[in-house]
């Protein structure tokens, strides 16, 4: 599946590591995607509400369906995030894409994600890719 197809087909995005600081990309990217009609599902253990949405403390707590898991965490933490996504998919089966934001990459995370049936994108910004195609 191409990046354009991902953006056309999946509209429910959980932001793992979303920020409540408007100066940070981890706030600006979800805000932009929300303005384009995508559903924002915030995950951050240190906030209650971001972009008018309830913030979940962990991936497993998210009540809504997730299609894209967009990760704003350091590269060395992404294997653990993929492991959490695998556990969630065993329980819910909803995550289709794991997306690591610009400058976040981890080959071990990629291998683990792909072995478990996820579409995996790394080192790309959802906002930049959206603007590129639409």
Closest Cα partner for 117 from 97, 131, 101?
97
Chain centroid to Cα 84, Å, comes to 12
pLDDT digits (tens, 9 = 90+) for 103-130: 999 999 999 999 999 999 999 999 999 9
pLDDT digits (tens, 9 = 90+) for 7-66: 999 999 999 999 999 999 999 999 999 999 999 999 999 999 999 999 999 999 999 999
Total tally of structural domains belonging to the chain: 1
Q: Containing domain of residue 58, as a range?
A: 3-133
- Contact in structure between 19 and 36 (CB atoms under 8 Å): no
Parallel, antiparallel or unpaired: strands 97-100 and 119-121:
parallel
Please report which confidence band the pLDDT of residue 2 belongs to, taking 50, 70 and 90 as the band edges: very high
Residue 128 pLDDT = 98
- Contact in structure between 56 and 43 (CB atoms under 8 Å): yes
Residue 14 pLDDT = 98
What's the CATH code of the domain at 65? 3.40.50.720
Rounded alpha-carbon distances, angstroms, from residue 35 to 32, 53, 116: 5, 13, 31
Parallel, antiparallel or unpaired: strands 49-50 and 39-43:
unpaired
| Global confidence as pTM | 0.97
């Amino acid at each position: 599946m191409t990046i354009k197809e991902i953006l056309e087909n999946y509209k429910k995005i959980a932001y793992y590591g979303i920020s409540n600081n408007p100066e940070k990309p981890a706030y600006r990217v979800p805000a932009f995607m929300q303005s384009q009609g995508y559903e924002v599902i915030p995950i951050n253990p240190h906030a209650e509400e971001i972009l008018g949405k309830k913030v979940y403390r962990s991936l497993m707590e998210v009540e809504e369906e997730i299609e894209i898991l967009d990760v704003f965490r350091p590269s060395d933490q992404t294997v653990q995030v993929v492991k959490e996504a695998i556990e969630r998919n065993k329980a819910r089966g909803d995550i289709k894409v794991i997306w690591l934001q610009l400058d976040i990459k981890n080959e071990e995370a990629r291998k683990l994600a792909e072995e478990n049936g996820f579409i995996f994108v790394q080192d790309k910004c959802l906002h930049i890719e959206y603007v590129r195609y639409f």
